[in-house]
Structure 1
Amino acid sequence: MIRVLIADDEAMMRAGVRAILESDPGIEVVFEAADGHEAIGGAQRHRPDVAVLDIRMPRLDGLAAATEIAATVPSTRIVMLTTFGEDDYIERALGGGALGFLLKAADPRELIAGVRAVSEGGAYLSPHIARRVIAPYRDGDRARGAEARDAIAALTGRERDVLALLGAGASNAEIGERLHLVEGTVKGYVSAILVKLGVRNRVEAAVQAHRAGIVPAD
């Protein structure tokens, strides 16, 4: 059972997130918070597997709460809920330890997929987040693009294929299906990619994929 904490200052949003998550019999919401302070306290008391945090909340926002939860309850994985107008927060959230990024307006199945992926030690980027937030780095910073292409040159062809799909927001299972690999093999490729690129997690690897321009078009 995946134990989840939800933090959002809108009661209706919390209720919706809870309903979506608990439609999966393998997920249980153990605590709800209306701001960052409550989220931190709830995480420290309940030690959930995953904390789903709204970025904008009163008193203490989700970014600050994510940083504190990551520091004091490192076993709790962080998923951030964002909107189209909050693209600039993503790098800050990365630095704060978040491993999942989801749009509030996304397909409800993405929320379940994101929580499951993060709970299993991976990371999850909503495809919409990947297109709208990470892709601009590819187009707007030539120096970073060149550095990313140099780094990716060290990957094998199959690792490059995996990274491209990872950058598009695909889960390990989806990558395996596309490339005709078992999920365990995909995990091995992802681990090797992180080491070769010198990045901490799948989200940072996805950023590199976009900067290098290897993510497939829709």
Structure 2
Amino acid sequence: MKIKTKSKKVNKAWLHDHMTDPYVKLAQKEGYRARAAYKLKEIDEELKLLRPGQLVVDLGATPGAWSQYVRRKFAPKQAGVGGAAVGALDGTIIALDILDFEPIEGVTFIQGDFREDAVLAQLKEAVAGRPVDVVISDMAPNLSGIESADSARIAHLVELAVEFSQSHLQSEGALVCKVFHGSGYSQLVELFKKTFRVVKPIKPKASRDKSSETFLVGIGLKKA
């Protein structure tokens, strides 16, 4: 019984934090599906990564807040209102996730596990040989609570995103990748430094203080 009571208290505390969170309120007001949109917005405003006309690949896209943000960047100003802007779209967005994804006009969605070769082949087919301008990855594995196992799962997803970027990014392209501080973090920073000319770790204000998440941004591929 004590365990259940504690669980209820935790759930209640999380619900309270969630409902009073200013970014949750802002997302509801501005029509974003999740507060995560403001993490990408902050990174983009600092580094000026996203511009109309680009090809962007969104990994771990569900529920779609990052694709919504990119969609608005690509939409004509008069159409850029509401959750997912409607009308003309100056740019291409390809989103991928293992979970269901509520459609966003103009966004191509592939459902599947990025770790599987068949799914990666589908993504490559959608890219169709075009150079990708920006890869954004909010992918995270289901965490077990066992640090060594979780670190390995996180690292594997980041390594796959880096590999995809090496194969498909244009030379001045960028990768934005969610990572977590802790075991294995310094190795991921080193991987980014080996791969990209410019590497910036960013902890957006919209990322909760309690969370160990941060984002690594790599810009400009180093020549192999």
Q: Report the TM-score when normalising by structure 2.
A: 0.35
Structure number with higher helix proportion: 1
Structure number with higher strand proportion: 2
Computing the radius of gyration from Cα coordinates, the structure with the larger value is 2
